Amino acid sequence: MFSYKTLKKGLFLFHPETAHNLAETALRLLPKCRLLNNYLVNRNFIMDPKLNQEIYGIKFPNPVGLAAGFDKNATMIKSMMALGFGFTEIGTMTPRPQDGNPKPRMFRYPKLNSVQNAMGFNNKGSSQVLMNLKKVYPFSIPIGANIGKNKTTSEEFALQDYKILIRKFESFSDYLVINISSPNTPNLRDLQNEKFITELFSMAKELTSKPIFLKIAPDMETNAAVELCKTAVEAGASGIIATNTTIDYSLVPNAQDFGGLSGACLKEKSYEMFKAIAKELYGKTVLISVGGISDADEAYKRLKAGASLIQAYTGMIFEGPSMVKNINEGVLELMKKEGFNNISEVIGSDLK
C-alpha cells in the first residue's frame, strides 16, 4: 500500500476542493471493497474498553470524532470506522439545497498544517441528506447532525429553519448540533446572542429528547462566550462544542480576507476559549473540544481540561488516515504513564 506521504503529494497537486471531492469518492466506494475496508477497520479502529464512554445513553467506543464540514451530505458514514473515528458528525445541512459561496473557496497552508475555507454550507438540502442518512442509521458508531439556516433565510425566520431541521433529523441521529458560528454565512454569527439562544433551545427541547449541542466561534470576547454558553445550558442545551473556525487572519501570513481558518494555526486560540468555558461549565454539562487537534498530546490536553470528547478534521488532511489511530494509541499510553485506568478519570483531571 502507498504511504500517505506519497498519496498526499499527489492530492496536493489538485485544488483543495477537488482533492476533497476525490477523497469523498474514495470513501463512498470503500465499503464496497469489503477486504480493504475490513483491513482498514482492523488497522485503524482501536477497540479498548479503557476508551469507552456512555454519554446521554450513547456509547462512544473512543473519544475522537469527525468534525462537521467533511461529510456534508452523509455519504461517507460507512467509512468512518476505517479511519478510526469513534463517532462522526455530518453536515452542516440546511433546509433547502444551496451551492455555497463562489469558488475558489478553500485554500491550503501546508507549512502551517492549516486550511482556510469559505464554503458557505454547501449541501444537497435536508431532504436528500435525510434519504442518505436513513440508509445507514442506526450505525455502529454514533452519528451527530450539524444543522444551520439557509443563506437566504433572514434572522427573523432563522428559528423556523432550525425547527424544520430538528424535526427532520432528530429520529435519525444520535445527537444534534446547532451551528450559528460559521463565518461563511452572512450575519449567521449575529445569532450568537442570548435572546436567540434562549428561544432556540427552549424550542429544541420541546421538539426532541435527543442531546442537542451549541457550537460556538473562537472569535468572541471570552467572557461573552462563557456567558452565552451558560445561557444555552440554562435554556436546555445538552453541551457545548468549542470551537468553530476563526476569522483571526493574523494567524496565517498572507491569508485570504474571507472564510474561516482551521488546523494547527487555530490550536492555541481554540484551546484558550475551551479552557475558559470548561472552567465555568465542567461538571455542569458535556463539553466537546475541536480546533487544531491532530496528535495524542493535544487530545490528552483537551481531555484533561474538561473535554469528554474531541473532534478533528483538518489534521487528517495533513496526517492521513492513521491520525485517529495514533491519537487513540497515544492517549492510552499517556493514561498508562499517569496511572489512569479509564478515560473517565482523565476527563477534567486538571480541574479536580
User: Which positions are catalytic?
Assistant: 182
Q: Which residues pair with 227 in a beta bridge?
A: none
Q: Is 222 assigned to a binding site?
A: no
- Provide the CA 298 distance to its chain's centre, in angstroms: 16
Q: In this structure, are residues 170 and 207 in contact, taking their beta carbons and an 8 Å threshold?
A: yes
Q: Cell numbers 487544531 correspond to what residue?
A: 292
Q: Is 120 assigned to a binding site?
A: yes
Q: Cell numbers 479511519 correspond to what residue?
A: 83
Q: Is 198 assigned to a binding site?
A: no
Q: Is 245 assigned to a binding site?
A: yes
Q: Is 93 assigned to a binding site?
A: no
State the DSSP string of 228-241.
HHHHHHHHT--EEE
Q: Is 292 assigned to a binding site?
A: yes
State the DSSP string of 268-313.
HHHHHHHHHHHHHHBTTBEEEEESS--SHHHHHHHHHTT-SEEEES
Q: Is 39 assigned to a binding site?
A: no
Q: Is 146 assigned to a binding site?
A: yes
Mapped onto helix, strand or coil, the DSSP state of residue 260 is strand
Q: Is 42 assigned to a binding site?
A: no
Q: Is 137 assigned to a binding site?
A: no
Q: Is 231 assigned to a binding site?
A: no
State the cell numbers at 50. 479503557
Q: Is 119 assigned to a binding site?
A: yes
Counted residue by residue, the chain has a size of: 352
Q: What are phi and psi of 177, to 5 degrees?
A: -130, 125
Mapped onto helix, strand or coil, the DSSP state of residue 88 is strand
State the cell numbers at 228. 452565552
Q: How far apart are CA 171 and CA 48, in angstroms?
A: 29
Q: In this structure, are residues 17 and 105 in contact, taking their beta carbons and an 8 Å threshold?
A: yes
Q: Is 70 assigned to a binding site?
A: yes
Count other Cβ atoms within 10 Å, centred on residue 212. 26
Q: Is 184 assigned to a binding site?
A: yes
Q: Is 71 assigned to a binding site?
A: yes
Give the residue ranges of the annotated binding site for FMN: 68-72, 92, 146, 179, 215, 243, 263, 292, 313-314
Residue list, annotated binding site for substrate: 72, 117-121, 179, 184, 244-245
Q: State the binding site.
A: 68-72, 92, 117-121, 146, 179, 184, 215, 243-245, 263, 292, 313-314
